[in-house]
Amino acid sequence: MTAYLLERAWLGDRFHDDVLVEVEDGRFASVTPDSDPPRAIPVRGLVVPGLANTHSHAFHRALRGRTQRERGTFWTWRDQMYDVAARLDPDTYLALARATYREMAAAGITCVGEFHYLHHQPDGTPYADPNEMGLALVHAAREAGIRITLLDTVYLSSGFGAAPEGAQVRYSDGSVASWVDRVDALVEGGHARVGAAVHSVRAVPAADLDAVAAWVGDRPLHVHVSEQVAENDACLAAYDVTPTRLLADHGLVGPTTSLVHATHLTDDDVTLIGGARAYAAFCPTTERDLGDGVGPSRRLHDAGARLTLGSDSHAVIDPFEEMRAVELDERLATQQRGHWTAQELLTAATTDGHASLGWVDAGAIAVGQRADLVVLDPASPRTAGTGRDENTAVFAAAAEDVRRVMADGRWIADDGDRAAIGRELDDVIGRIRT
């Protein structure tokens, strides 16, 4: 057992001083505020629980800074994403994901939900091990020191009945039955769990949704929903209902479902999602990068939904920016302040985020929980003079203020790692691009 004295730590309600935590077998064995033990290891700074990134496409990291050269939309950006998707093999996928997950770890992320659909070879032929690409992600997370929920994705159509084309052919298993056969072969490990994803209502025909629901059961299920107005229009034309209503009608909106983006919703959609106690996975830095729009985060929460946060395309990997962006985007949309408290946003990034990925034993500094710690510098140019409280963490801090990160009782990152992570990313992205 190892004892640490946390100078100032978030315990779910507020920051407490001199918090003694004892860590045994990767979990908190005791948590005691206002302590002064003689032999505990001091941990200086503001300490928050490990953060969960609930929506990631690791290979999109290769696009950062390369998609800003011309005017366009989500759909023109997608063409550039497909170009990268067509270039990857298991080795480069592993290297890119490992570097990306190391960047996440350095930003305070201890668990990632990887929305994985790069399944097969570029011509659609399965690898000798049909899960080779998914296993590359699992290995990458282990090597970076973080946990992963592999959200293995069903993708059968390029759009409301059209066959996959181009890079999409490597996404498709051909049928739900083939997808189930492949995913059933995945084995969960100590740092890895397996969930499911429906890429979107345009990528999985309505006739196949019942079969997906039958396999999913109570596993985490994530779905891209209403990210674009064009998606809503096409779904209405094909099925005469919104994407949310279509999913709900097939049993795919429930308390273990995460609706990703949930940007362009009707009042009925909001009521459905909230009434199901589903999660709404917002990715503000990607949604603004792609010009998606601002989703109704507060209305969803008030209806009963639970907010979580993701970095999606990794235009930025900064969970503190994602947290405050939810509030700041609401301010822009409504011209009013004060929609979300810092405590609510920390909950979204910690306990609710982990729970949405199936890790209900993570995201809090509490007895029995996984020993994850994120140590912030309270005296950086961003955080100095801000009060050393939850508002400092959410509305002032940035990924660069993370000094050290612990996951499952093991220190996995410190601020001295950033230069090496940068070199690693530069190398692997260069290999993919050449």
Phi, psi of 118 (to 5 degrees): -85, 75
Nearest to 204 by CA among 235, 230, 229: 235
Q: Which two tokens stand for residue 270?
A: 């909001």
Angle between helices 176-184 and 206-216 (to 10 degrees): 20
Phi/psi at 180 (5° precision): -60, -45
Catalytic residue among 57, 119, 224, 261: 261
Is the CB of residue 191 less than 8 Å from the CB of residue 141?
yes
* Residue from 332, 320, 329 nearest 394 by CA: 320
Amino acid at 282: F
Q: Is 306 within 8 Å of 352 (Cβ atoms)? A: yes
Of 312, 318, 352, 377, the catalytic one is 312
Report the Cα 431 to chain-centroid distance in Å.
Answer: 26
d(CA 145, CA 128) in angstroms, rounded, equals: 27
Strand ranges across the sheet with 410-414: 27-32, 15-24, 2-10, 41-48, 373-376, 402-407, 410-414
* Strands 221-225 vs 257-261: parallel, antiparallel or unpaired: parallel
The runs of H, that is alpha helices, within 88-175 are 90-106, 132-144
Residue 135 dihedral angles phi and psi, to the nearest 5°: -65, -30
Which residues are CB-neighbours of 396 under 8 A, at least 6 positions away? Answer: 382, 383, 386
Tokens of 342: 């810092």
- Give yes or no: 222 in active site: no
Cα R_g (the chain), whole angstroms: 21
d(CA 402, CA 390): 15
Sequence letter at residue 162: A
Query: Do 173 and 212 form a contact (C-beta atoms < 8 A)?
Result: no
Verify whether residue 389 is a known catalytic residue: no
Residues serving a catalytic function are 261, 312
